[in-house]
């Protein structure tokens, strides 16, 4: 019954949203190539203006969330790790009232999907080389882009997918089959972040709840939510420190009920994976729990009880 009510409320909001014309906001949404500094001039170039794009592997598209832009501090840390970085910017559409911006998720995704499609055809990009990363509303946007390509992209990463005005059955919400592999990090339930498993592998640092360690005062003092941005910080740290976030398998009900001790005792190498950029995609499936520090470095790495008990010595894939 509650789910039906939520759907009805959203339907009313959605209809009110599109009683207005937001085409000008959508028209300004674009994707930019972050030309590496080592190549000299590091200026940004719109995706469709990129010439002689020779590096056709490990391509990342990063999409911000509500009230953000491509230079927002909440998403910029993820830009490290590869030369082939593209940053989406939908600032105008993301700056309306939240119900409006949330209602524009599918429209923004379709605009970006068409830009990406043209770029891929022009440069003969293999869909398997595409890795889309989205924060908050951006996590749902990357999911819709993935569906536009029938789930053929290599990977999608959702960083604390937005909760407000989404339910598990939302047609435009992030889904496990939006790419060949979908991983999600949850850090801000029940405030701005969704707790619903939306990937093939879902991670719940510190139970996936607000406040995250070190965020108690900040979450109370601001509306931007330190805990909501923590997912981005954790993922960004994993790029530079690949083995810093060992997580063990644990069902969502056990995590929600704070009943993770049994999962911890039963953890084995096969039920433990490293969260973040270098996740072992062939082994990661289901829900995972881990504890983090309150400040950088957030990952416990070698100091993790799980790490020590399992003698987890497998090397991560080489940096590309």
How distant, in Å, are the alpha carbons of 28, 139, 245, 290 from that of 185?
Answer: 29, 10, 12, 11
Q: Please pick, among 89, 160, 183, 194, the residue that the annotation labels catalytic.
A: 160
Instruction: For residues 109 and 135, give the distance between their C-alpha atoms in angstroms, rounded to a whole number.
Output: 13
Is-catalytic flag, 136? yes
Is-catalytic flag, 160? yes
Q: For residue 320, how many C-alpha atoms fall within 13 Å in the half-sphere facing its CB?
A: 14
Q: Please pick, among 136, 227, 238, 249, the residue that the annotation labels catalytic.
A: 136
Q: Please pick, among 25, 228, 249, 304, the residue that the annotation labels catalytic.
A: 228
Q: What is the pLDDT of residue 310?
A: 55
Contact 134, 157 (CB under 8 A): yes
Q: What is the pLDDT of residue 317?
A: 41
Length of the chain: 320
Q: What is the pLDDT of residue 225?
A: 84
Q: What is the mean pLDDT of each run of 10 residues along the chain (320 residues)?
A: 49 52 93 74 85 84 96 85 88 97 98 98 96 98 98 98 97 98 98 97 97 83 79 96 94 96 90 95 97 95 65 41
Closest CA relative to residue 142, chosen from 52, 56, 75 = 75
With both helix axes pointing from N to C terminus, report the angle between 105-123 and 137-148 in degrees, rounded to the nearest 10: 50
Closest CA relative to residue 306, chosen from 205, 214, 182 = 205
In degrees and rounded to multiples of 5, residue 24 shows phi and psi of -65, -40
Q: What is the pLDDT of residue 270?
A: 86
Is-catalytic flag, 101? no
């Amino acid at each position: 019954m509650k789910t039906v009510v939520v759907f009805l409320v959203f339907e009313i909001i959605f209809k009110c949203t599109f009683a207005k014309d937001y085409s000008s906001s959508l028209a300004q949404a674009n994707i930019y190539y972050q030309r590496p500094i080592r190549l000299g001039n590091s200026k940004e170039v719109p995706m469709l203006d990129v010439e002689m794009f020779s590096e056709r592997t490990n391509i990342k598209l990063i999409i911000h969330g509500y009230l953000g832009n491509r230079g927002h501090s909440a998403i910029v840390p993820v830009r490290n790790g590869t030369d082939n970085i593209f940053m989406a910017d939908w600032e105008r559409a993301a700056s309306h009232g939240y119900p409006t911006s949330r209602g524009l998720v599918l429209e923004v995704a379709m605009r970006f999907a068409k830009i990406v499609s043209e770029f891929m055809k022009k440069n003969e990009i293999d869909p398997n080389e595409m890795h889309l990363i989205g924060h908050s509303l951006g996590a749902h946007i990357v999911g819709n882009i993935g569906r536009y390509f029938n789930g053929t992209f290599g990977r999608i990463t959702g960083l604390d997918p937005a909760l407000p005005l989404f339910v598990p059955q939302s047609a435009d919400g992030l889904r496990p089959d939006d790419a060949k592999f979908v991983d999600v990090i949850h850090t801000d339930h029940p405030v701005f972040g969704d707790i619903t498993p939306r990937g093939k592998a879902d991670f719940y640092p510190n139970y996936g709840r607000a406040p995250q360690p070190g965020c108690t005062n900040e979450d109370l003092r601001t509306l931007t939510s330190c805990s909501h941005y923590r997912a981005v910080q954790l993922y960004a740290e994993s790029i530079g420190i690949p083995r810093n976030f060992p997580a063990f398998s644990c069902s969502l009900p056990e995590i929600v009920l704070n009943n993770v001790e049994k999962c911890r005792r039963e953890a084995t190498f096969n039920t433990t994976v490293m969260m973040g950029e270098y996740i072992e995609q062939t082994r990661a499936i289901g829900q995972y729990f881990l504890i983090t520090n309150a400040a950088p470095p957030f990952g416990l790495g070698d100091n993790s009880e799980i790490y020590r008990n399992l003698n987890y010595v497998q090397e991560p894939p080489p940096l590309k």
